[in-house]
Structure 1
Amino acid sequence: MDLLTETGMLGCKLADTPIKMNHKLCEDIDQEPTNKEQNLHLVRRLIYLAHTRPDIAYVMSVISQFMHSPSISHRNAVDQILRYLKSALRKGLMLSKNGDLEVVGYTDANWASSITDKRSTSGYFTFMGEKQMELHCDNKLANNIAHNSVQHDQTKHVEVDRHFIKEKIEKKIICQPFVKSEDQLADILTKAVCGRVFHDSLTKLGIGDIYAQT
């Protein structure tokens, strides 16, 4: 509410997601610049907010790349975040008491996704729980490498990591089941997704109305 009041956006239209799908945000020197100091102050506050709001983690990883040389398109993207936050004022991550000690993780990487420098974006969620750890991955090649010792010659640059993971799988400390892309919860940390997928993932992650009566 403080952010919306400060920016004069209390009466803004709502946004269903914090970032548009297929966005083309990049560093473009030909675009019209915006107020650097104002934008920098706002982005810093949003980065702080993202520590407790994983639903804006991905968009902040994108926006923060341009915080020192922002253009109109970057400020429009920041306004999109604010319009989303207005629609999700009551959302938060509810940490509830649970006797289950299972550990389940979802991991995803968006290879060479940056338009500016072709860097990749990776992200993961971890649920605390029972004994054998599940690490859900939607990359079949990564799964095959973890389970199949024959393919190690093709991956010498990650040989140490591969042996470490394979050892944990053989000892049944970790299991690595394949998960379909539509069920990959970590997608919202690495890319812009449609509203349906975005809100479905938030529900599964336990991000909802923290003020609702239980």
Structure 2
Amino acid sequence: MEIGRSKAGIQICQRKYALDVLSKTGLLAAKPSPLPMEPNSKLRKDKGNLFHDPTLYPKLVGKLLYLTNTRPDLSYSVNLLSQFMENPRVKHYDAMIKILKYIKGTPSQGIFLPASLNMELVAYADANWANCPDMQRSTTEFCVFIGTSRSSAESEYKAMAAGCRRM
């Protein structure tokens, strides 16, 4: 992890690690993706051809899981892909490549903790009823902020928080 400090606050990111992952996967020169995953994508555990290297897929998921320490914008996508570690399909691997291409465009993104004395705890939650196409399970997401800190990746929550403050 890389930690930078200034009068404005502390920035935590994993730029070097992200670039190392891209280099090892051969995607360092890939065209960046604007999104980590296609909206409303429905990945199934038993649809499509099996991925040719079942040991590579879990290794890459593990690398992406480690990257979520400073990249909460990847959490949903990586969590979704981690559900297919037993029998990864080509579509799952393609979705992982899309995440890596997103990282290519945002390698320095991370968490910023401002130098503020405000220690207010703010939380947001979202739920999707029966979103999982395989088991018809619900999915939930949440985001917690301490003080005025905002992850540089959570633009949706930033906008929502700013809107709530104005009310």
Q: Does 1:127 align with 2:145?
A: yes
Q: Give, in whole Å, the separation in 2 of the partners of 1:4 and 1:128.
A: 31
Q: Give, in whole Å, the separation in 2 of the partners of 1:107 and 1:119.
A: 17
Instruction: Report the counterpart of residue 155 of structure 2 in structure 1.
Output: 200
TM-score of the aligned structures, taking structure 1 as reference length: 0.59
Instruction: Report the counterpart of residue 131 of structure 2 in structure 1.
Output: 113
Q: Give, in whole Å, the separation in 1 of the partners of 2:63 and 2:147.
A: 32
Structure 2: gaps of 5 or more residues: 1-18, 161-167
Q: Give, in whole Å, the separation in 2 of the partners of 1:200 and 1:4.
A: 24
Is the alpha carbon distance of 1:25 and 1:18 closer, same or farther for their aligned partners in structure 2, counting shifts above 3 Å? same
Is the alpha carbon distance of 1:129 and 1:93 closer, same or farther for their aligned partners in structure 2, counting shifts above 3 Å? closer
Instruction: Report the counterpart of residue 99 of structure 2 in structure 1.
Output: 81
Structure 1: gaps of 5 or more residues: 131-197, 206-214
Q: Give, in whole Å, the separation in 1 of the partners of 2:154 and 2:75.
A: 14
Q: Give, in whole Å, the separation in 1 of the partners of 2:54 and 2:43.
A: 17
The alpha-carbon deviation at position 199 of structure 1 amounts to 6.8
The alpha-carbon deviation at position 18 of structure 1 amounts to 0.4
Quick one: which amino acid aligns to residue 118 of structure 1?
Q
**Which has the larger strand fraction?**
2
The alpha-carbon deviation at position 68 of structure 1 amounts to 2.0
The alpha-carbon deviation at position 48 of structure 1 amounts to 1.2
Q: Give, in whole Å, the separation in 2 of the partners of 1:89 and 1:81.
A: 12
Q: Which has the higher contact order (CA 8 A, sep 6+)?
A: 2
Q: Give, in whole Å, the separation in 1 of the partners of 2:147 and 2:51.
A: 48
Q: Give, in whole Å, the separation in 1 of the partners of 2:31 and 2:145.
A: 34
Instruction: Report the counterpart of residue 5 of structure 2 in structure 1.
Output: none
State how 1:90-169 maps to structure 2 within 5 Å. Answer: 90-129=108-147
Contact 1:55–1:202 (CA under 8 A) maintained in structure 2: no
Deviation by residue 1:104-128 (Cα, 9 ceiling, x = unmatched): 2111111111011111111211222
Q: Looking at CA atoms only, which structure, 1 or 2, has the larger radius of gyration?
A: 1
Q: Give, in whole Å, the separation in 1 of the partners of 2:47 and 2:125.
A: 34
Q: Does 1:10 align with 2:28?
A: yes
Quick one: which amino acid aligns to residue 47 of structure 1?
L
Aligned-residue sequence identity (percent) comes to 34
Tell me the secondary structure at the aligned position of residue 84 of structure 1. helix
Instruction: Report the counterpart of residue 46 of structure 1 in structure 2.
Output: 64
TM-score of the aligned structures, taking structure 2 as reference length: 0.75
Taking only aligned residues, the RMSD between alpha carbons, in angstroms, comes to 2.3
Contact 1:101–1:129 (CA under 8 A) maintained in structure 2: yes
Deviation by residue 1:75-115 (Cα, 9 ceiling, x = unmatched): 00000000000000111111122111322211111111101
